[in-house]
Amino acid sequence: MASAPSASGEDSLIARYFRPIATDPGAFNLDDDAAALKPSGDDIVVTTDAIVEGVHFLPDDPPDTIARKALRVNLSDLAAKGAVPAGFVLTLALRNAEESWLKAFADGLGEDARQFGCPLLGGDTVSTPGPLMISITAFGRVPAGRMVHRSGAKPGDRVLVTGTIGDAALGLAVLRGGKIHAAANEVAARDLLISRYRVPQPRTALAEIVREFASAAMDVSDGLAGDLGKLCAVSGVSAAIDLDSIPLSDAARDLVSRDIVGIETLVAGGDDYEILCTVADDRTEAFSLAARRAGVALSSIGMVVAGNAGPKFLDKQGREIALKRLSYSHF
């Protein structure tokens, strides 16, 4: 009697670490070549982001935080589109299959999948001689025709942003050492900034509220200044932003007040994963109230104005400040 074929190393890896977190029926226990999302009458919103060792995370970052970041940057995109998570597929490129690393990675990924209601549906694992890379494609649901686009901002709309800006860029700087690490002399401040870099907080609680109120929206991934420019360009408008109204954490504000960093570092640094949106002026109060009820901090930072020029950033006296850098760029 012929013996059953033995499982490949890849199959064993999948069975041990990822099958336990692929609990959605449409994942078919990760035994098939594809997954299935059941139709519900909603539109399916699809987004994909990859994170690469040395670019989006550091080689010695804890594996559970790497997993959480990989999923959460995609959840942030879904929230900005007004979509509720439906599931995700994972591509994992590894130099080696180190069991302790994979267990911690899978545990972190599984916890976030459960927390955000976004189950693993399938994916692929491959070997690579290069840097570690994790790519996730996430799927969300939104009522037909209701996805919030970058286009749609109109003159007179308010410009709003969730959370605080610049913490992730500072967290990376802390991890790299140098003057910011030395200047952030309180352990709690350093820990907060590092956490904001390693583990973003996707504003999924705001997804349906953004869908209800926003005329345009996107998540802040490459830097507030540059991403606002992208939104304005697609909408065919400009904006006037009050730099003093941009929300900063206490740690970031302290570093700015001591001239350790400038505001440009914070608005161009990237990795914030907050929601940037525009809302009609007469609906802003109701939007802000709904955000507070959802437990999400929200700040009004300026107005959409007519024109095709890039957004203007103004100081306390209303004078325009020229920013030399607007965002992070891969190329």
* pLDDT confidence band for 40 (50 / 70 / 90): confident
* Between 212 and 23, the higher pLDDT residue: 212
User: How many other C-beta atoms can be found within 10 angstroms of the C-beta atom of residue 26?
Assistant: 16
Would you state the pLDDT for residue 331?
Answer: 44
Alpha helices in the chain (DSSP H): 9-13, 63-80, 99-115, 167-175, 179-183, 187-198, 207-213, 224-235, 250-257, 263-268, 284-293
Would you state the pLDDT for residue 11?
Answer: 76
Would you state the pLDDT for residue 1?
Answer: 30
The answer to whether 87 touches 137, Cβ cutoff 8 Å, is no
pTM: 0.92
Would you state the pLDDT for residue 177?
Answer: 85
Report in angstroms the alpha-carbon separations of 101 from 59, 200, 210, 313, 316.
12, 20, 37, 44, 49
Would you state the pLDDT for residue 14?
Answer: 81
Rg (CA), the chain: 21
Asked if pLDDT for residue 8 goes beyond 50, the answer is yes
Between CA 202 and CA 77 the distance in angstroms is 8
Q: pLDDT per residue over 266-297, tens digit each? A: 999 889 999 999 999 999 999 999 999 999 99
Is 126 strand, coil or helix?
strand
By mean pLDDT, which of 4-13, 21-30, 75-84, 108-117 is the weakest?
A: 4-13
Asked if pLDDT for residue 330 goes beyond 60, the answer is no
Asked if pLDDT for residue 180 goes beyond 90, the answer is no
Max CA distance (Å), the chain: 86
Q: pLDDT per residue over 49-87, tens digit each? A: 999 998 889 999 999 999 999 999 999 999 999 999 999
Alpha helices in 45-141 (DSSP H): 63-80, 99-115
What is the mean pLDDT of the segment spanning 148-177? 96
Would you state the pLDDT for residue 7?
Answer: 53
Would you state the pLDDT for residue 6?
Answer: 45
Would you state the pLDDT for residue 244?
Answer: 95
* pLDDT confidence band for 2 (50 / 70 / 90): very low
Would you state the pLDDT for residue 5?
Answer: 44
What is the mean pLDDT of the segment spanning 172-177? 90
Would you state the pLDDT for residue 327?
Answer: 58
The answer to whether 136 touches 76, Cβ cutoff 8 Å, is no
Between CA 209 and CA 111 the distance in angstroms is 25
Would you state the pLDDT for residue 13?
Answer: 80
Between CA 205 and CA 291 the distance in angstroms is 8
* Between 242 and 180, the higher pLDDT residue: 242
Token pair, residue 72, equals 């959460």
Asked if pLDDT for residue 10 goes beyond 90, the answer is no
Sheet arrangement for strand 274-279: 214-220, 274-279, 158-162, 298-305, 238-242, 312-314
Between CA 309 and CA 229 the distance in angstroms is 9
Token pair, residue 69, equals 């970041």
Strand partners, 320: 314
Would you state the pLDDT for residue 329?
Answer: 58
By mean pLDDT, which of 243-247, 301-305, 316-320 is the weakest?
A: 316-320
Helices (H) then strands (E): counts for the chain:
11, 10
Strand partners, 197: none
The answer to whether 297 touches 247, Cβ cutoff 8 Å, is yes
Structure letter (DSSP) for residue 182: H
Q: Work out the mean pLDDT of the chain and round it to a whole number.
A: 92
Is 84 strand, coil or helix?
strand
